[in-house]
Amino acid sequence: MKGHRKTCGTDAMMARLLPCPDIVTYAQSGENMWNTIQYLQAADAPDIVPQSVLAASYERCRTFEVRENKRHIDDVLGEGETRNFLQQNGKLVTYGQLVIKEYMGDTKEARDLFIFTNNLGRILGLWSRPEIVAASAIMGLRAGASLAEDSAGTNAVALALTAQGPVILKGEEHLCRMFHDWTCVAAPVISTDGTLIGCLDISAPEGPVYEKLALARSIAREIGRLVGNRISFGGITIRQREVLALFAHGMSYKGIGGVLGISTKTVEEHLDAVRIKMGLKNRRACIKKAIELGIL
């Protein structure tokens, strides 16, 4: 996306960053993000990807015959294949979109590109300002495209999925020159049972990488928690928890039913069951109570 530096340049920090104390082992509950960022700076976070790891990735890419001067991602599903792919991953797509949009705010004001993939690096969705999304599509960066090394060369998503850990990748560290204008941070999305289910990448031509790393970790952790939590709380079933989670994110009854494959009436019955079990008078009061109980 060369030539979009002015359009895509990033501001100092997105306003809605949440604390991410699990990034560093010493962090205490409630510690604000700036302490985490300072720790990452002191720990020389840009070296999260050692040179030996980068060299190994470059070598694999050359084995795959990935060209450094390529201008387009190789493995991109066709329109019909992409539609089937997104349908097969419907729940993951929905949860990802809900969480990412909640964190990033109005996409019309977005300066960074948010990319969400499955556990193989195939893109489930990407969000930013319309012109940034359109420019990305020229390189093949769209839903259905693969960011695996054999398709896109050395990149943050592929490395984060391989390492199952956070990655900061500077522009020139990408194998392919088409990504050299972009600094990327990526965090694996891991469910509560430890299963790797996807990856969240935030890319921009420039800007503060430590804040973006913390944001990526927060988003990835939230998606993993929503998708993978199979624990029942106080008689509240897994299905009831799923309905409540989608309801808490502002989805309509019809939308919830579409995602979970149940009727609108069944959605309402699940929410009423939660309300009764919690001893509350209305459905929306369940959201606050669920957060207090650790259900959401």
Within 10 angstroms of residue 26's Cβ, the number of other Cβ atoms is 9
* pLDDT score for 18: 29
Strand, coil or helix: what is 295? coil
Question: In 119-216, which ranges are E strands?
Answer: 123-127, 167-169, 183-190, 196-204
* pLDDT score for 188: 95
Q: pLDDT digit string (tens) for 99-132?
A: 888 777 666 667 899 999 999 999 999 999 889 9
* pLDDT score for 108: 64
For the entire predicted model, the pTM comes to 0.68
* pLDDT score for 13: 27
- Residue 269's contacts (CB-CB under 8 Å, 6 or more residues apart) are none
* pLDDT score for 16: 27
Nearest-angstrom CA–CA distance, 270 and 244: 8
Q: Establish how many alpha carbons lie within 13 A of residue 230's alpha carbon, considering only the half-sphere containing its beta carbon.
A: 6
Nearest-angstrom CA–CA distance, 197 and 92: 9
Quick one: tokens of 196?
């790797």
* pLDDT score for 278: 86
Residues of the chain with pLDDT under 70: 1-48, 105-109, 207, 228-234, 294-295
Is residue 216 a contact partner of residue 202, using CB atoms and an 8 Å limit? yes
Within 10 angstroms of residue 77's Cβ, the number of other Cβ atoms is 18
Q: What domains are defined for the chain?
A: 5-9+28-228 (3.30.450.40), 238-293 (1.10.10.10)
Side chain identity, residue 274: V
Quick one: tokens of 194?
């430890």
* pLDDT score for 261: 83
